[in-house]
Amino acid sequence: MEDPPLASLSLTHVHYNPFDRVSYLCAWLALVPQGLCVIYATLIWSNREIEIMLMFAGQMGCEALNWLLKRYIKEERPREMHGKGYGMPSSHAQFVTFFSVTLTFFLLFRHVPHPTETHTPFSFIQRLLLSVLALASAAAVAASRIYLNYHTPKQVLVGCAAGAISAVLWFGFTTYLRRAGWVEWALETELARLARVRDLVVQEDLVDSGWARWVERRSRANGLRKQQ
């Protein structure tokens, strides 16, 4: 019996020109959505923040929308592309646009960090610069899909538009959930308590992340040592 032919895992299989440095960089940019999913999972498991859970839920909803749009429009990828699946709209462009726009809205309109004795949170200007960096990074990922011939410019632009519209609608929906008290209700459920779900990141700076509590604990420990 001959061994069966091996298959390629298309999740990370990216075609690029090995003699073109820009093409090589674009191949790495193609892995950004997978990296963001790892970051989502890590933050949800370690921080249990409901804001991150809501953002991830919206991200998965945006992916579901992309799946439906591709199978409704049924537009092929560029001829130079050797992969499979439809190309309209670009899932990479839609994914990173949703992430960057949602992150921008959070940093500029929802995130109001309070200073502590040991930490000064990011100012509005710093959060604005971080938002611009996120949007620029998303633009780089989207452009890489054109450079690698995975998508046409139109497919990428439609993907960006779908991601941006999804982000606006999802942010508006989560804003309603907060103002109507649904988020607070969910946090009081037994399941949320068992999972240790919290809602601190809206007012607690991302960089601080418990640092003030750690410094206070160390100060108390050092004070006890000096008394002894």
Q: How far apart, in Å, are the Cα atoms of 136 and each of 18, 58, 97, 132, 177? A: 25, 21, 10, 6, 29
> Do the Cβ atoms of 10 and 84 come closer than 8 Å?
yes
Looking at per-residue confidence, does 95 or 114 come out higher? 95
Number of domains in the chain: 1
Residue 116's CB is within 10 A of a number of other CB atoms, namely 16
Residue 14 lies in a domain: no
Range 47-57 average pLDDT? 91
- Domain interval for residue 133: 21-227
Residue 144 lies in a domain: yes
**Of the candidates 129, 89, 110, which has an alpha carbon nearest to the alpha carbon of residue 172?**
110
| CA dist., res. 141 & res. 161, Å (int) | 14
Predicted confidence (pLDDT) at residue 210 exceeds the cutoff of 70: no
Predicted confidence (pLDDT) at residue 23 exceeds the cutoff of 60: yes
Task: Identify the H or E element spanning 197.
Answer: none
| CA quadruple 154, 160, 164, 170: dihedral, nearest 10 | 110
Residue 2 lies in a domain: no
Residue 1 lies in a domain: no
- Name the band, by pLDDT with cuts 50, 70 and 90, for residue 140: very high
Please report the pLDDT score of residue 116 as a whole number: 66
Residue 193 lies in a domain: yes
Residue 46 lies in a domain: yes
- Name the band, by pLDDT with cuts 50, 70 and 90, for residue 8: low
Please report the pLDDT score of residue 83 as a whole number: 57
